[in-house]
Amino acid sequence: MRPAYASIAALLVAVFGVLTGNGALTTLLPVRAQIEGFPALDIGLMGSAYFGGMLAGATLTPWLVQRLGHIRAFGLSSLLGAGAILALGWFVEPLAWIAIRGLCGFFLAGIYAIVESYLQGKADNRIRGRLLGIYSITQYGGWAAGNQVMRLGEPTSFALFAIASAVVAVFLLPLFLAEDDAPMRGARRARMNLLWLLRTSPVGFIGVILIGFANGPFWSLTPVYATHIGMSGIAVGTLMTAITIGAAAFQFPVGRISDAIDRRVVLASLCVLTAFCEIALFFLGPALVGWPLILLGAVMGGIISTQYYCTSAHTNDRTGRENAVGVSAALLFLYCVGAILGPVTASYAMQYLGPAALYLHNAGIHVALAVFLVLRIARRGAPSRRA
């Protein structure tokens, strides 16, 4: 386990910086949009555009890795993403933000797929969950740090966008110390094959779509919900930080458990727990404002954020390390399909049923996924951990 971690340390430092810069946008954009009076539907469309950009980026990532290798492809995507963050500060207008947010998603898709395929290629089935857990801790630690950027200036200032962009650029420096792989020109196994993935791992295919359908609105619209129930910009930043800290705290323990037992059982349990929390928040949210809501947010962040990586680990158990690039891109692509639709349907639910309908919307998705997982467990055994 230790040699595997040491080989990715420089890359993880860069990941932390990139996601700190992008994490700042998770809170800054919805809060600034509320201040500017953007319609709720436009804010939801920003979330959909972000994941739409990720979907497009996922299709390009295998081609990029084939020609540049993992590390150089990561650096290119990150620098372009830093430029997109600056553009958001220059053009404060709904249509411009929707378009630029799509570009942010496009570049971030490359980052996610590149890093995850790099890790999947270095892990075997016995430690896959823990290695992804370490990466996830870094990821959500970056998001948590990014939410605290709100404390460095007013939401209406350009300075916050400039700080976020600068953090991304500075933290790329350790990449010069990372060991890159050779480009894989012409390697078929780097291609994204959705039909093959559906046949090989139905849980991976269906699971990441539903997870994206719930996670997309959760991350993009929770700040909107918090603002509607009277929380200040700093309080919203604190809530989102608590969510991301919870996400980081749960990653390694859940990864370790999933290395020991059937990952589908772990995933189904997470879905059931998430649905209970979402139903509680739907009925009791305004009464919980303050530390109770912060604590509940931390728990929800933990159990929601581990679901994608648990699904990814199960899928790669089935597909093997040699297919890591194509599988990582395919999973990200499918996740984005769900995450594009989720903010739109959740926005309509919030518009007609109130802000808390976001969590009723997501509870239904998690219950459906739990039922699907139980059916798959009954039909097919768990993959071997020897690969």
In tens, the pLDDT along 302-337 reads 999 899 988 988 888 888 767 777 787 788 888 888
| Predicted pLDDT at 203 | 93
Q: How far apart are CA 328 and CA 343, in angstroms?
A: 23
CATH number of the structural domain spanning residue 205 = 1.20.1250.20
**Can you tell me the mean pLDDT for 77-89?**
83
| Predicted pLDDT at 125 | 61
384 within a domain of the structure (yes/no) = no
Confidence band (pLDDT; 50, 70, 90) for 124? low
Q: How far apart are CA 42 and CA 94, in angstroms?
A: 7
Per the structure, how many domains does the chain have? 1
210 within a domain of the structure (yes/no) = yes
Ramachandran quadrant class, 231 (left: phi over 0; alpha: psi -120 to 50; beta: rest) = beta
Q: How far apart are CA 134 and CA 253, in angstroms?
A: 10
386 within a domain of the structure (yes/no) = no
180 within a domain of the structure (yes/no) = no
| Angle at CA of residue 187, ends 186 and 193, nearest 5° | 115
182 within a domain of the structure (yes/no) = no
183 within a domain of the structure (yes/no) = no
Q: What is this structure's pTM?
A: 0.73
Confidence band (pLDDT; 50, 70, 90) for 206? very high
What range does the domain containing 353 cover? Answer: 2-174+191-379
18 within a domain of the structure (yes/no) = yes
Higher pLDDT, 205 or 191: 205
Buried b (16+ CB within 10 A) or exposed e, 65-104: bbebbbbbbbbbbbeebbebbbbbbeebebeebbbbbbbb
Q: CB–CB of 164/85 below 8 Å?
A: yes
Asked if pLDDT for residue 257 goes beyond 80, the answer is yes
331 within a domain of the structure (yes/no) = yes
Confidence band (pLDDT; 50, 70, 90) for 3? very low
Model pLDDT for residues 16-55, shown as the tens digit of each residue: 888 888 888 877 887 888 788 887 777 778 877 887 787 7
| Predicted pLDDT at 187 | 43
